[in-house]
Amino acid sequence: MDPIAVAGLARLKSTLQALLPAPGAATVRVEVAVVPRRIRPSGLNGYLGHHHDPAGDVVGRSIEAAVQVVVDVDDVTALPSTLELVSTALATVGDPRLRQLGIEALTLESIGTVLLREPAPAARRELVYEVRFDYQQVPEQATGTLDQLVRHTEPVTADWPPTVLLNRAFDLEDPTLFEAIDDPALPAPGAWQWQPTERRIAQTALVEAGPQDSSPEKPSTYFVVREAADRPLDGDFLLQAALRSDAANAGGGIGLVFRWQDPLNFYFFLMDGRGPYQMLGKKVAGAFLAMDTLASSIPAVNTSASYDPTSTYDVRVAARGDVLEVHLDGAPILRARDASLSAGRVGLLARGNDRAFFYRMQWIRI
């Protein structure tokens, strides 16, 4: 069993227990149980960065779980007020506090029926919450475990340790983070917008140019991370994002851009249900071009696969030198070799898709 995941589940349980109010009487009990649904390594296969004092690796897990909060009382007449107290306590925790605790989402999923038990008039009732939790484990020292993650943003010249350039969910709008850029061939501009209530960035304009086949000419609209002192143009990296194309849209394109230098020079990953295809491509000196497939069973373009419009995908793009690779939900799907562009920014992409949604992004220099 993964010891980091076990520690993450224990941290999630204790964190939620600390948010609940004290029962106030011996005849009232509140129990918490965490039922994991999905656990994935965060960052670079679980590596998030290096901690200097004390020295060591910062590792993490992204946890999706159902959390059962059971209110148990010796007298059923106390159940409504206790249930209200518990649910209100969790509902009124502000987003900044939740993020500080590593909780990306806390949503009431269901309320169970009242269950009477012996001895009467005892009863219990269950609340089930859907939770997304970002667990980060830092090195320990003699006085205990450090709770503050130190993120390094200064440029480094060594290949190791990796540097976290960006790591955030899209639940709070930040107009300084991205800039909207449209391909010069588009007939109309894109429409990128923050949707903090849904904890996402959306692209809602139905714009595109170029053919619908699997050729590389795919003019799109882009939402590119701005260059900053702590986000320099970067070469080797791991880019991770959660994205989804809504079922109401009949298979439009969605993906990511990387090593972006300007609208005429960048790499891109794109998947589109209308081809269908999944593709690694490039635009160099204003021309869209195909990528060279490595000598492996993993292609640069796959014309037999696309995406499920009912699913949210974890997409990871890794670039080391001239080798580029895309993983979808942990499985490698595309691989290519190209040395046209050595560094640049990263961003989001939509093509012919007015319901393209992006939920979080992590960009790590390696």
Look at residue 157 and tell me if it is in a domain: no
Instruction: Supply the pLDDT for residue 295.
Output: 66
Asked which of 145, 172, 198 is the last residue of a domain, the reply is 145
Q: Which residues pair with 309 in a beta bridge?
A: none
Q: Are residues 182 and 124 in the same domain?
A: no
Please report, for the domain that includes residue 196, its CATH number: 2.60.120.560
Instruction: Supply the pLDDT for residue 149.
Output: 35
DSSP 8-class letter at 129: E
Instruction: Supply the pLDDT for residue 107.
Output: 92
Instruction: Supply the pLDDT for residue 44.
Output: 66
Distance CA 268, CA 349 (A): 8
Q: Are residues 49 and 88 in the same domain?
A: yes
Look at residue 154 and tell me if it is in a domain: no
* 144-145/345-351 β-pairing: unpaired
Q: Are residues 360 and 246 in the same domain?
A: yes
Distance CA 366, CA 73 (A): 53
Instruction: Supply the pLDDT for residue 131.
Output: 94
Look at the pTM and tell me if it is higher than 0.75. no
Q: Are residues 22 and 116 in the same domain?
A: yes
* 192-195/323-328 β-pairing: unpaired
Per-range mean pLDDT, top range of 59-63, 94-98, 268-272:
268-272
Asked which of 111, 145, 179 is the last residue of a domain, the reply is 145
Q: What is the 3-state secondary structure (H, E, C) of 78-140?
A: HHHHHHHHHHHHHHCCCHHHHHHCCEEEEEEEEECCCEEECCCCEEEEEEEEEEEEEEEECCE
Look at residue 153 and tell me if it is in a domain: no
Residue ranges making up the domain that contains 247: 163-365
Q: Are residues 129 and 177 in the same domain?
A: no
**Domain total in the chain:** 2
Q: How confident is the model at residue 298 (pLDDT cuts 50, 70, 90)?
A: confident
